[in-house]
């Protein structure tokens, strides 16, 4: 067993360093991988190279846990630079293409989270009314006005535990944060909690702990995306690199759909150091996060990394809608990754959507050349997998058009019902013609002749 140190900043004072006893497991990383990725229906979302923010954002002091405004022109972050004590600073820039300017002291407290309209700023601070660390909100009437007096969020959010690291949804109705039992802080059992309300004029309701898939280690740094469909967080546990803190993300198809299992962001983001404090830009183009040594307190810096989005349906992220992508749309596949129609399922509707709306072709177009004709029959029968009694060995290119892993008569039925045989290129919009009985009979005769001639 190896001891791994994780330093977590509590309220107004210095962070407390906790020793966590756990095995330090080095994940096997994919050789030759240039970009890490996590899956969504948009394909594999990939990251470029992380960039350490230059001075005057990062300094010789501790700089961490940022929150960027919806227009990308204000950056709030925690710092120990002179003029504050683990408090929040703010830097501005004229356009998103310019560097951030000299930071100014903003408010007392750390782990800032700026609301979507830029009029509320949430922080935690050690000068708590309910516990040793509470969460507060500062408000202002416009972005040109200074921040007003802070307000404690009250007993539904704050407790006699340590409540920290706020993150609020775009509509202001869902509030995520972390909670730590001070009686067990030597083992660092940090947990993710959530609270909700009916309107922004209402107080938040009683908080509840997120389910076990989020709290399977010491989970912290929750950050909800602008569209409310991705929940980033950090975790320290046996499944992270050397037991350090790593960033992960959970996704969902809609606000009422269940969250997926959290997915590690990979070795481009996560290293043997601690990575925490994720904050995704409102347009999804940039992920900000913090990084610092695992075994040494301090030296934390802010980083940013570009996020790259392949085309919808390009599941392997190679820039091409090809057979590998349609073969991924199997019944029972993870809806958080492969559901294209938004019904929380992966089924024939998703294959139809991929084939018609994304690829612009017909069911039965085995070679994906844009038409369904006799060349496709020749290709699939030459593959020799028609009713071959080998379970699950068939693909789109070898005749499995329904996605069940088999090439049999059901694939012909599915293709002929689509009505594209010898109809030329697929055109989005007009009604798909129904195949006539004569056509189906003719195709059956062709297939029978091929079988008798020994093509298969």
Q: What is the phi/psi pair of residue 419, to 5°? A: 75, 25
Closest CA to 269 of 30, 47, 12: 47
- Kindly report the CATH number assigned to the domain that includes residue 186: 2.120.10.30
One domain, residues 405 and 257: no
One domain, residues 273 and 409: no
User: Which of 308, 323, 345 is the C-terminal boundary of a domain?
Assistant: 308
The answer to whether residue 315 sits within a structural domain is no
Give the count of alpha carbons within 13 A of 70, CB side only: 15
> Considering only 43-52, 106-115, 282-291, which range has the smallest mean pLDDT?
43-52
Cα separation, 279 vs 288, whole angstroms: 5
Distances (CA, A) of 20 to 13, 27, 188, 214, 219: 21, 19, 7, 19, 13
The answer to whether residue 297 sits within a structural domain is yes
One domain, residues 297 and 375: no
* pLDDT value of residue 5: 34
Higher pLDDT, 227 or 1: 227
Domain membership of residue 407 as a residue range: 360-452
Contact criterion met (CB below 8 Å) for 227 and 221:
no
Query: What's the number of domains the chain is made of?
Result: 2
pLDDT in tens, 98-114: 999 999 999 999 999 99
SS3 191: strand
One domain, residues 16 and 87: yes
User: Which of 289, 308, 327 is the C-terminal boundary of a domain?
Assistant: 308
The answer to whether residue 353 sits within a structural domain is no
Contact criterion met (CB below 8 Å) for 223 and 282:
no
One domain, residues 167 and 268: yes
Burial class (CB in 10 A: 0-12, 13-18, 19+), 157: buried
The answer to whether residue 121 sits within a structural domain is yes
pLDDT in tens, 334-391: 787 788 887 888 888 999 999 999 999 999 999 999 999 999 999 999 999 999 999 9
**What mean pLDDT comes out for the span 59-67?**
96
Mapped to the 3 state alphabet, what secondary structure does 64-109 carry?
EEEEECCCCCEEEEEECCCCCCCEEEEEECCCCCCCCCCCEEEECC
Contact criterion met (CB below 8 Å) for 176 and 67:
no
* pLDDT value of residue 217: 75
One domain, residues 236 and 100: yes
Mention every residue, 6+ apart, whose C-beta is less than 8 A from residue 133: 10, 11, 124, 125, 126, 162, 163, 164
One domain, residues 184 and 264: yes
Residue 44: band (very low, low, confident or very high) from pLDDT cuts 50, 70, 90: low
One domain, residues 62 and 174: yes
Contact criterion met (CB below 8 Å) for 218 and 233:
no
The answer to whether residue 320 sits within a structural domain is no
Contact criterion met (CB below 8 Å) for 192 and 215:
yes
* pLDDT value of residue 1: 31
């Amino acid at each position: 067993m190896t001891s791994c140190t994780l330093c977590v900043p509590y309220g107004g004072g210095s962070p407390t360093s906790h020793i966590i006893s756990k095995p330090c497991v080095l994940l096997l990383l994919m050789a030759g991988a240039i970009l890490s990725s996590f899956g969504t229906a948009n394909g594999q979302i990939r990251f470029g190279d992380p960039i350490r923010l230059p001075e005057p954002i990062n300094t010789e002091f501790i700089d961490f846990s940022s929150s960027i405004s919806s227009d990308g022109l204000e950056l709030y972050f925690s710092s120990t630079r002179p003029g504050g004590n683990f408090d929040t600073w703010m830097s501005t820039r004229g356009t998103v293409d310019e560097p951030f300017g000299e930071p100014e002291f903003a408010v007392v407290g750390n782990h800032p989270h700026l609301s979507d309209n830029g009029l509320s700023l949430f922080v935690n601070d050690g000068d708590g009314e309910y516990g040793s660390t509470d969460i507060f909100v500062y408000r202002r009437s416009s972005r040109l006005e200074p921040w007003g007096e802070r307000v404690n969020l009250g007993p539904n959010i704050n407790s006699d535990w340590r409540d920290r690291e706020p993150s609020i949804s775009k509509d202001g109705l869902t509030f995520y944060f972390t909670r730590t039992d001070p009686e067990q802080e030597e083992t660092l059992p940090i947990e993710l909690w959530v609270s909700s309300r009916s309107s922004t004029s209402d107080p938040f309701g009683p908080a509840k702990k997120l389910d076990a898939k989020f709290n399977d280690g010491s989970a912290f740094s929750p950050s909800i995306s602008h569209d409310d469909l991705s929940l980033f967080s950090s975790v320290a546990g046996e499944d992270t690199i050397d037991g350090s803190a790593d960033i992960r993300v959970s996704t969902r198809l809609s606000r009422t759909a269940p969250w997926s299992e959290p997915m590690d962001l990979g070795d481009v983001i996560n290293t043997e150091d601690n990575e925490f404090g994720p904050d995704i830009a409102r347009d999804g183009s940039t992920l900000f996060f913090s990084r610092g040594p695992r075994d040494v307190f301090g030296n934390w810096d802010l980083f940013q990394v570009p996020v790259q989005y392949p085309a919808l349906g390009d599941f392997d992220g190679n820039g091409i809608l090809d057979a590998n992508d349609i073969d991924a749309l199997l019944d029972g596949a993870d809806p958080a990754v492969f559901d294209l129609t938004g019904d929380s399922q992966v089924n024939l509707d998703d294959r139809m959507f991929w084939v018609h709306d994304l690829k612009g072709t017909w069911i039965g177009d085995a070679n994906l050349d844009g038409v369904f004709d006799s060349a496709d029959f020749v290709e699939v029968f030459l593959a020799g997998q028609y009713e071959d009694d080998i379970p699950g060995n068939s693909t789109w290119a070898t005749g499995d058009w329904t996605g069940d892993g088999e090439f049999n008569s059901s694939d012909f039925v599915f293709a002929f019902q689509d009505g594209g045989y010898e109809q030329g290129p697929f055109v989005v919009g007009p009604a798909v013609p129904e195949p006539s009985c004569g056509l189906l009979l003719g195709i059956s005769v062709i297939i029978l002749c091929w079988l008798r001639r020994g093509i298969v």
